[in-house]
Chains A and B, each alone.
Chain A
């Protein structure tokens, strides 16, 4: 099934995208409201929460170029050294820019 990108068609497509996204925003919480939270479930939730971050970041590091890897490494080092997120993030972004400016594409 296809939708033509006429004016009405595009509005319909945006509505569908909105609906699907709202389902993902609501769905996890809706399903959890049927689950009894015991220590085991709570432990699962807590471990999963920080694993979400790792599962986003690690493939990002492996699929990116030298610049993205540099950004993540610099952010990690500064974050672990200073415990201050903003300087760590700023330095990471600057590292990505610098590495790309210098023309290094891979290690």
Chain B
């Protein structure tokens, strides 16, 4: 059996640096976790159960939706459907990191994916667009976000009254603003702008007419289709192509 070599090695000092890089945004996540903790105990979860859910699920929007469905009993299939639909964006986010992740052993690859969430993915994906390979932010940044989410939930279940209305402080917009900043910080080409327009229109249409929580996947796939059919020429290729065109005439 030949040993496969995986060339992507996580650098511990870079993991640490990425942990501290996402620490500011993690402070906002604490506030959001507190809002979840409060919502969870109000719906009848025990404090420890709410904290356990944040510890193992670690996907905020789906947790909010799940406790919204809480009662004396919970229907299993609707719960699974909602959690899957809200988190299905992870499928695409993971897939977008695959070109980097395949250079890592399967054990580490899937271990790393346990920390995958919107904010650290956005940083990694955006840097990949500009040619930088950064999986350290998934681990380091993910740890910062995960710890913040658990601490926040803990604060919320015990001291939730302190944060009755996170919305009035604008805290519900933390993730939206963060993701927008990441999108605008990335590389913009005519192809990207067309893809964004298509993604925007189709996600809006899906949000209006398709089942709830499907809009992210619909919009992202529609945008991706633009990339599939419209290949961007690399700067090096451009000369080659124009040379070929010239030689064929």
Contact = CB atoms under 8 A, between A and B. Distances in A.
Contacts of B79: 13, 16-17
B95 A45 contact: yes
B96 A52 contact: yes
A9 B170 CA distance: 35
B105 interface: no
B222 interface: yes
B66 to A, nearest CB: 6
A57 B173 CA distance: 10
B73 A45 contact: no
Interface string A14-30: 11111011111111110
B147 interface: no
Interface residues of A, number: 76
A20 to B, nearest CB: 5
Contacts of B89: 24, 52, 56
Contact of A47 (B24, B77, B88, B191): B191
A80 interface: yes
B62 A3 contact: no
A48 B160 CA distance: 38
Most B CB contacts (10 A, CB to CB) among A53, A60, A89 go to A53
Contact of B231 (A26, A40, A75, A89): A40
Contact of B227 (A29, A43, A89, A97): A43
Given A51-B223, A93-B177, A28 B200 contact: no
A16 B80 contact: yes
Most B CB contacts (10 A, CB to CB) among A11, A16, A45, A62 go to A45
Interface string B186-208: 10000110011011101110010
Given A29-B98, A55-B200, A67 B173 contact: yes
Interface string A84-95: 011011001111
Nearest to A71: B173
A28 B90 contact: yes
A24 B129 CA distance: 23
B173 A68 contact: yes
Contacts of A67: 167, 170, 173
Contacts of A42: 99
B185 A83 contact: yes
A59 B203 contact: yes
Given A55-B220, A93-B174, A100-B167, A21 B62 contact: yes
Contacts of A2: 73-76
A62 B72 contact: no
Given A71-B176, A89-B177, A3 B74 contact: yes
Interface in A29-56: 29, 31-33, 37, 39-56
5 contacts: A11-B49, A47-B223, A55-B216, A96-B173, A97-B169
Interface of A: 1-5, 7, 9-11, 13-18, 20-29, 31-33, 37, 39-64, 67-68, 71-72, 75-76, 79-80, 83, 85-86, 88-89, 92-97, 100-101
Interface of B: 24-25, 28, 44-46, 49, 52-53, 56-59, 62-63, 66, 70-77, 79-80, 83-84, 87-99, 101-102, 109-110, 113-114, 116, 118, 122, 125-126, 128-129, 167-174, 176-186, 191-192, 195-196, 198-200, 202-204, 207, 215-228, 230-232
